[in-house]
Amino acid sequence: MNFNARLKQLRQKNKLTQGELANILNLKPTAISNYESERNEPSFDKLIALSKYFDVSCDYLLGITDSYLPVGGEVLDKDIVELFDLYQQLSPESVIDIKNYAKYLIYKQKH
């Protein structure tokens, strides 16, 4: 996935309009639209600001890696990233269910 698609995905996941995100980052209202449509690319400073705002690495934003952030100096593998993406789509009730099921699987594995 490339930068424009990653940016749009993160913006929508955070329920922000293009204008709202532009305001947060002190950009012109059309800046995010231009990034998402590949008419413009952000400067390094704006790329860093986007990564800090969304709490992801610049590598993730640029599509170099599918890992949001390095963990303990190592990059998360794709299975963990996929599981995390699925987890973020769950309702609060389903999060409780998935946690309980994971605890059950750990219990079953030990016995």
Q: Give 99: exposed, middle or buried? Use CB within 10 Å, 0-12, 13-18, 19+.
A: exposed
pLDDT tens digits for range 53-65: 988 889 889 988 7
Residue 76 is given by DSSP the state: P
This prediction's pTM? 0.63
Average pLDDT over residues 27-51: 94
Domain spans of the chain, in order of start: 1-66, 77-111
CATH topology of domain 1-66: 434 Repressor (Amino-terminal Domain) (1.10.260)
pLDDT at 16: 94
> How far apart are alpha carbons 5 and 94 in whole angstroms?
27
pLDDT tens digits for range 20-36: 999 999 999 899 999 99
> How far apart are alpha carbons 81 and 68 in whole angstroms?
8
92: phi then psi, degrees, rounded to nearest 5: -55, -35
> How far apart are alpha carbons 24 and 53 in whole angstroms?
9
